[in-house]
Amino acid sequence: MSYIKDVKVKFEELRNKKDVTILAIESSCDETAIAIVRNGREVLSNVISSQIEIHRRFGGVVPEVASRNHLLAISNLYEEALKEANITINQIDAIAVTYGAGLVGALLVGVNFAKGLAYSQNLPLIAVNHIHGHIASNYISHQKLEPPFVCLMVSGGHTALLKISDYTKQKLIGSTVDDAVGEAFDKVARVLGLSYPGGPEIDKLAKKGENIIKFTVSNALSKTYNFSFSGIKTAVINYVHNKEQKKENICKENVARSFEECVTDELCTKSLRATKASGYKKLVIAGGVGANSMLREKMTNLAKKENIEVYFPVLKYCTDNAAMIGSAAYYYIQKGLGRADLSLTARPTIDL
Ligand code: KG4
Ligand code: ZN
């Protein structure tokens, strides 16, 4: 039988198979990652090669450099992932890969590796939306968590509120009209002279600072579920430049703390309001900024008062990884979605 016909049958069979073991690949930005996940919840292995150190000296991700380093890392990671899971490729039921959104050259490395592997092993290929992966990071973090819930998606590329009515059904109810929140963290960190990626650096510094500088977000969107972070980002940049021009000292800790308080207040207020309006009882956070300690603490306390259950991914699954892609792929398969053929290519932007 031809590859296409053969894997179509295999893909259909997976819906009724008791145990489904997926090898998943993620290379959308600066982490090359491969994981093996069983039945959407059990992570048998999760290996990551981070390029953070490589990009740090440039102050951000350099796309060309990212693609080359994905290429260098991916084959070894594949061997490692199988070894860590203590299984062979013959025990894998499907290959999943992030095909967007992300840096196109970086995505292409993962997509082409996945296509080669799927073809050579005669396995179904599942194309996964990176954002769906971030949402699924909560299924591998909380074994009992099930939809429906409201999801606050906060990463370097996205800021959105989504109504998740089922594993593969999501409705966008709000998003950023300009910068993603992670982007704002990274740019504020940069103006403060902190290293890349800025989010974790701001997080650390803010703990030592006081909330005494008056930064605000625009209230033009206050009645909606949309966000805007470019105003506060510019306000911080202007504050720092002003101080520098006047040769005044800048207390970086206070800047970080005041910025972080304002941004996390905005994220908490809108997500809790959206959850109450949805009638759902659960709020789930996804994406790299979900690692922020002030956001985790503030949201947990405020949600308790509203009788809303709040879930954050465990820290290792907040930022990019392949285990979350393997989990999302399992739920696609259950609904007969996501099957790709060898014409699959990378998509730099993609709808939620
Ligand atoms: O989800 P992610 O790993 O990649 C994207 O899909 O974008 O998110 C990366 C973003 C970066 O902007 C990074 O600065 C931010 O998540 N981030 C944090 C923290 N850890 C990572 N932002 C605030 N506080 C943190 N602790
Ligand atoms: Zn991500």
Does the pLDDT of residue 318 top 70, yes or no?
yes
Q: What is the mean pLDDT of the segment spanning 269-289?
A: 97
Does the pLDDT of residue 133 top 80, yes or no?
yes
pLDDT band per the 50, 70, 90 thresholds, residue 319: very high
Mutational pocket test of ligand 1: of 319, 350, 352, the residue with most ligand atoms within 8 Å of the beta carbon:
319
* Residue-level pLDDT at 25: 98
Residue of the nearest CA to atom 23 in ligand 1? Answer: 199
Residue of the nearest CA to atom 3 in ligand 1? Answer: 319
Distance from C-alpha of 50 to C-alpha of 32, rounded to nearest angstrom = 6
Does the pLDDT of residue 13 top 70, yes or no?
yes
Does the pLDDT of residue 198 top 80, yes or no?
yes
Determine the atom of ligand 1 nearest the C-alpha atom of 287: 1
* Residue-level pLDDT at 59: 81
Q: What is the mean pLDDT of the segment spanning 270-288?
A: 97
Q: Which residues contact 23 (CB under 8 A, 6 or more apart)?
A: 34, 35, 36, 81, 82, 89, 92, 94, 95, 96, 117, 326
* Residue carrying the six token digits 């720092």: 240
Instruction: Say if residues 175 and 157 touch (Cβ distance below 8 Å).
Output: no
Q: What is the mean pLDDT of the segment spanning 179-201?
A: 94
How far is residue 171 from each of residues 128, 156, 179, measured CA to CA in Å?
A: 17, 20, 21
Q: φ and ψ at 139, to 5 degrees?
A: -75, -30
Q: What is the mean pLDDT of the segment spanning 66-70?
A: 88
Dihedral over alpha carbons 309, 267, 212, 253 (to 10 degrees): 90
Q: Which residues contact 135 (CB under 8 A, 6 or more apart)?
A: 151, 153, 162, 164, 170, 284, 286, 328
Q: Where are the domains of the chain?
A: 3-137+319-340, 147-315
pLDDT band per the 50, 70, 90 thresholds, residue 69: confident
Q: What is the mean pLDDT of the segment spanning 108-112?
A: 98
Q: φ and ψ at 255, to 5 degrees?
A: -65, -50
* CATH classification for the domain delimited by 3-137+319-340, as one of 1.10.357.10, 3.30.420.40, 3.10.150.10, 3.40.50.300: 3.30.420.40
Q: What is the mean pLDDT of the segment spanning 256-279?
A: 97
pLDDT tens digits, 226-247: 999 999 999 999 999 999 999 9
Q: Residues with Cβ within 5 Å of ion ligand 2?
A: 155, 320
Higher confidence at residue 219 or residue 329? 329
* Residue-level pLDDT at 1: 55
Q: How far is the CA of 30 from the centre of ligand 2 (A)?
A: 10
Distance from C-alpha of 233 to C-alpha of 202, rounded to nearest angstrom = 13
Instruction: Say if residues 48 and 74 touch (Cβ distance below 8 Å).
Output: no
Higher confidence at residue 6 or residue 303? 303
pLDDT band per the 50, 70, 90 thresholds, residue 324: very high
Instruction: Say what the pTM is.
Output: 0.95
Q: What is the mean pLDDT of the segment spanning 318-339?
A: 97
CATH of domain 147-315: 3.30.420.40
Distance from C-alpha of 240 to C-alpha of 45, rounded to nearest angstrom = 44
Q: How far is the CA of 343 from the centre of ligand 2 (A)?
A: 24
Shortest-distance ligand to the CA of residue 287: 1
Distance from C-alpha of 110 to C-alpha of 166, rounded to nearest angstrom = 27
Distance from C-alpha of 242 to C-alpha of 111, rounded to nearest angstrom = 46
Q: How far is the CA of 175 from the centre of ligand 2 (A)?
A: 16
* Residue-level pLDDT at 50: 83
Residue of the nearest CA to atom 7 in ligand 1? Answer: 156
Q: What is the mean pLDDT of the segment spanning 37-56?
A: 92
- The whole-angstrom distance between residue 204's C-alpha and the CA centroid of its chain comes to 21
Domains 3-137+319-340 and 147-315 belong to one CATH topology: yes
Shortest-distance ligand to the CA of residue 313: 1
Shortest-distance ligand to the CA of residue 256: 1
* Residue-level pLDDT at 57: 82
For the chain, the average pLDDT equals: 95
Q: How far is the CA of 241 from the centre of ligand 1 (A)?
A: 25
